[in-house]
Structure formats: structure tokens, C-alpha cells
Structure 1
Amino acid sequence: MHYSKLKISADATSKLRSLRQRTGLTPNLLCRVALMLSLEEGRIGDGVSPDEEGSEFNAYTLTGEYGGLFAALLRWVEEGPSPEEPMDNGTLLTRLRAHIHRGVGTLSVRAKSPSDVLRLVPAS
């Protein structure tokens, strides 16, 4: 999955502002947590994709050094372990935006404080 910039939805951007005030975490970190929450919920599929009217992130800012890992997890959830035909880059980016959108919605309900975000991370 190749991209240099990714725009998220206006709704997710608004919720990220609120989450940042409540948790003190930056939007890129919140997006990473949101993406993982959404991937845990399962496949997005071919539903309606969110708008691109919100914040724009550089690829490295959004995923850091873990871009390859996030891409592999996205492919695993969306395509399954042995896809007949791999998804094209555009479809994967649309699904990435959709997962961030869904995850931010979930996170905005579940995280009212920094400690709530910590509770989402499994103890090792």
C-alpha cells in the first residue's frame, strides 16, 4: 500500500479534536489506536466510504515506522489469509480511511480520559 498523504473524514477530524482534549494524545496516535480497534471489529467491505473533507496526514506521521505492519494487518482483515486476487492500492486506501473513521467513532465513545485509552491496550 503506497501513499504519501491520506485525508480522513470531517466527522473523524471533529471527533479527534475532542479526543485530543480529553486524552492529551496527538491525532496520529489516536488514529493508530482507532485503526487497531476497527481492525479488531473485522472487515469493512464494500460499504459507503467516508468523505475526504477532514485532516490530512503524511504517511509517516500517521503510521510511523510501522506502516508495513499496518498495511499487512489491513490486508489480512480485508482480504483474508489467501486472497484470490489482491486489492488494488486505491481500494486499500479507501478501506484504510473507512477503518480510521469507524475506529475513531468507537474510540470517541470508549475514551473519556487517558486511562480509558490505556485500558484498551491488552496487558502483556
Structure 2
Amino acid sequence: MRLTKLKISADASSRLRSLRQRTGLTPNLLCRMAIALSLEEGPVGAVEVDEGGQEFNAYTLTGDHHALIAAMLRFVEEGVDGHSLPDEALVDRLRAHIHRGVATLAVRAKGPVDVARLAMAA
């Protein structure tokens, strides 16, 4: 999956600002947690998510874990039947996973202790 920059939804950006204030974590770390939480819930399928929010550089968003995140995304979204999705579709689904995961984090993480509990549960 080729990715240089990624714009997330305005709703996710707003929730990330709130989460940052509550937890002290940077948006890129919160997005990584959001991706993991959402992937655990299963595929999002082909959904439309707006791109009116914050923009991330790919390396800032995924760090040294780009290949791992891309592999997990492919595994969840493409399944075991082997049908391959184009890069554009995978990027759209990554954006959707961030959107869904940030919404989950916004409910579950009220402070730093909650983030630690979520990390320990994983």
C-alpha cells in the first residue's frame, strides 16, 4: 500500500484534539491505537469517510510499522479468500478504520489510565 499523506475526517480530528487533552498522547499515537482497535472489530468494507480533517505524513502516522499496519489492513479487509484491493481502496479503508477507532477511543479513554488499560488488554 503506497501512502505518503493521509487526511482523516473532520469528526476524527475533533475527537483526536479532545483525546489529546484527556490523555496527553499525540494524535499519531492515538491513531495507531485507533487502527488496532478498529481492525480488531473486523472489516469496515467500502464506506465513504470525508477528508476534511487533519493531514498526516505516512511516516508520522505509522512510524516504522508501515509494513505491519499495511499487512494487518490487507488481512482484515481482503480476508483469506485472496481477492486483492487496489491501493486507493486500502487507503480509503485505513481512513475508515481510523475514523471508527477514534470514535471507540473517545468512548473508552477518559484519561491516561484508560489508555494504559487498553494497551494492556491488547
TM-score normalized with structure 2 length:
0.96
Identity %: 66
Which residue pairs with 1:39 in the alignment?
A: 39
Structure 1: segments with no counterpart, 5+ residues? none
Quick check: 1:59 aligned with 2:62? no
Which residue pairs with 1:78 in the alignment?
A: 77
Structure 2: segments with no counterpart, 5+ residues? none
Which residue pairs with 2:22 in the alignment?
A: 22
Which residue pairs with 2:2 in the alignment?
A: 2
Which residue pairs with 1:108 in the alignment?
A: 106
The ranges of structure 1 where at least 4 consecutive aligned residues each deviate by more than 2 angstroms after the TM superposition are: none
CA RMSD for the aligned pairs?
1.2
Which residue pairs with 2:92 in the alignment?
A: 94
Whichever residue aligns with residue 68 of structure 1, its letter is A
Shift of 1:105: 0.2
Number of residues paired by the alignment?
122
Whole-angstrom distance in 1 between the partners of 2:29 and 2:8: 14
TM-score normalized with structure 1 length:
0.95
Deviation readout 1:49-102 (Å, 9 max, x if unpaired): 21000000000000000000000000000011241x310000000000000000
Describe the SS at the equivalent of 1:65.
helix
Whichever residue aligns with residue 32 of structure 1, its letter is R
